Amino acid sequence: MESNTFLRFLFIFLTGALLILFTWTHLPYAPPPPTSATDCATNSPWCTSKNRLQSKQPSTNNILKKPPATTGIRHESKLPGHPLDPLTIKEFNKVRTAIASHPLFKSSPYSLHSVVLDEPEKSLVLQWKKGDPMLPRKAEVVARVNGVSYVLTVDIETGEVKLEETKPASGYPTMTVEDMTSATLAPLANPYFNRTIIQRGVDLKDLACLPIAPGWYGADEENRRVIKVQCYSMKGTVNFYMRPIEGLTVLIDIDTKEVIEISDQGRNIPIPKAANTDYRYSTIDANQRLKFINPISIEQPKGPSFKVEDDHLVRWANWEFHLKPDARAGVIISQARVQDPDSGEMRNVMYKGFSSELFVPYMDPSDAWYFKTYMDAGEYGFGLQAMPLVPLNDCPRNAYYMDGVFAAADGTPYVRSNMVCVFESYAGDIAWRHAESPITGMEIREVRPKVTLVVRMAASVANYDYIVDWEFQTDGLIRIKVGLSGILMVKGTQYVNMNQVSNQEDLYGTLLSENVIGVIHDHYVTFYLDMDIDGSNNSFVNVNIKKKVTSPGQSPRTSILTATKKVAKTEKDAQIQLKLYNPSEFHVINPSKKTRVGNPVGYKLVSGGTAASLLDHNDPPQKRGAFTNNQIWVTPYNRSEQWAGGLFVYQSHGEDTLAVWSERDRPIENKDIVVWYTLGFHHIPCQEDYPIMPTVSSSFDLKPVNFFQSNPILRVPPNVVNDLPVCKPSPAAST
């Protein structure tokens, strides 16, 4: 008996050791990081955010016959051409050298959690013109040394390292990829964990584990950086998310890799079957493949109309703006300007815009779920999770692709290829039109097609895929759209049919398939919008729309609508919760610039995706995500206030958020102001979301309001037949 026990333990130990050895050789500790787009387009672990324990899987890109083409940029020799250009590989290497030689880092192990451009002062950037000497280049570095977080600036030219004064009340920096990958390995060193995995019928080689940020729930979680790990079986499918090992949660100390606690409460819950969970086209039987439509593409005989100069300056139609990938925000749009059709002047609209934070709370209070309240930008790095875009599917023909260059935990630069794409879009929409009725005797039919320019990034934050579009229109409108796709985070259950469920609310979600529950959750994406309408000094105006009852005898009408304008004096005046039956328009105006007839020039925020948080404001996740308590906030410009959840979000308590800053109630009238808008989604999963979700999208607009003297695209020509090639339909299409 003792011999059998010993042999069984030896087998488990050796299996775990072999798995650790195998996985270790596939993680970014042994090989050097890539320095070219080609490396990241292949299989380097430095370029993947899928931090899970598993063997290499075949590529899921079965539509393409060859790997996506890279941008072709030689990043090793690239130099900055604009003060806001991201750090280059040469600059990353200089920063790495400077850090390594600094006394703080010489004798202690350290990790770099963020290495980004320390942007020059806004006033200096606004004055800079192409051909001027480049403004001094500095890097902002967030590092951890001996368990202490530091913020430093590095002068790239001189190598001088300056330690900034930062005393955050709580929280840790964004996790590194190394943090996440090592956390998923740690449970395998624990015999109890290995034993319970095998007892559940899962082979260790089929194990897939995810690192889950724990949020913050009290003093017991103080003074150590922790993470929770949950695992899945990937036997029989690449869609391991649909095969959770329910109720098994491992608490890990990220710094020491120590297993602190194992919660094992789901032994009676079966692991869902793998059947019908694989979503890859190559695995679908040829007789079951759907062929609804023929291939479609926008043809551009003269090529695209946009240009990307110096790798980051985009010019298209009447727009120009600076574009760069960012490890935390994903993409950043800067210095967006639109041309005035009358004067030809390029006029300022927005100095800087980006997705500041994503808050995703799940609505299951059980032990294995209550803590799933993600901050995807501040905890994981929204840009770090961006995957290479797939040509012809993520982005159409004639798209321009832009790579991201980031730093690993030791400061070594690597390239995330095809991270962003830029393309022109035409979906048959109309820019403007008018046709006269025959009763007027005039045969007038004037129509203009709407062609737009789209900047796109897609981040795969573990199971979920977020598609973020910045769309520019020739009439001056900017549309910011977020699409949700990917795979649900699901819960294992004993139920196989709803007739077994006595109280549906106890599911905390929807039964999607046998033994699979899709848990109810929310998505909030908060955007930072530094508006500069014809200059930096702007005001926020609430244009309230109200019913007015007419006076007796005044009119056959008994009620009309009126619009009352109120300029927000301080931050609290601009804390807006949207109300359907108390509507408003929200204008950002330049009070010192007027149109020909005397209206202040401006832009208005047209709301969309208006789901609001219903959580108790004292609930720990909502304290941290208090920036979602309102849909709109306005703050005075402060370069230290860019991240809605605070600089250090991981395990933060919520003392350094947009909601806290705004309580200062600072003056905002005729000031350099920042508008914050939150797109919200309530998601009650349904069977159509299984095994992979069709994309659900919502958007909001920044629209000119009295910015131009009249319709800015009145003079745009219509399309004529000779402008476009004639495509002959196939015989099948003509029958």
* SS (HEC) of 690-717: CCCEEEEEEEEEEEEECCCCCCCCCCCC
Question: Quick one: tokens of 9?
Answer: 């333990």
Q: Are 49 and 385 in contact (CB under 8 A)?
A: yes
CA distance 444 to 447: 10
Strand, helix or coil for residue 493: coil
Residues 6 or more apart whose CB falls under 8 angstroms from that of 3 comprise none
pLDDT computed for residue 166 by the predictor = 65
**Among all residues, which ones are annotated catalytic?**
376, 464
pLDDT computed for residue 37 by the predictor = 35
CA distance 248 to 263: 6
At how many degrees (to 10) do helices 177-185 and 2-24 cross? 160
Question: Quick one: tokens of 409?
Answer: 């935990």
Q: Are 411 and 96 in contact (CB under 8 A)?
A: yes
pLDDT computed for residue 596 by the predictor = 97
pLDDT computed for residue 72 by the predictor = 65
Using a 10 angstrom Cβ sphere, with 0-12 exposed, 13-18 middle and 19 or more buried, the burial of residue 405 is buried
Question: Quick one: tokens of 403?
Answer: 């790579």
DSSP state of 125: H
- Residue whose token pair is 């900055």: 80
Strand, helix or coil for residue 195: helix
pLDDT computed for residue 292 by the predictor = 82
Question: Quick one: tokens of 3?
Answer: 């011999």
CA distance 76 to 71: 13
pLDDT computed for residue 41 by the predictor = 34
Nearest to 675 by CA among 565, 539, 529: 529
Residues 6 or more apart whose CB falls under 8 angstroms from that of 23 comprise 53, 185
Strand, helix or coil for residue 183: helix
- Residue whose token pair is 């404001």: 617
CA distance 733 to 70: 35
Question: Quick one: tokens of 54?
Answer: 């598993």
Q: Are 368 and 435 in contact (CB under 8 A)?
A: no
pTM of the model: 0.90
Q: Are 604 and 703 in contact (CB under 8 A)?
A: yes
Q: Are 125 and 82 in contact (CB under 8 A)?
A: no
CA distance 85 to 313: 9
* 396: β partners: none
pLDDT computed for residue 16 by the predictor = 45
Q: What are phi and psi of 626, to 5 degrees?
A: -65, -15
Q: Are 351 and 3 in contact (CB under 8 A)?
A: no
Cα distances (Å, whole numbers) of residue 516 to 244, 674, 698: 9, 43, 27
pLDDT computed for residue 505 by the predictor = 79
pLDDT computed for residue 729 by the predictor = 60
Other CB atoms within 10 Å distance of the CB of residue 442: 10
The residue ranges of the chain whose pLDDT is under 70 are 1-72, 165-168, 220-221, 726-735
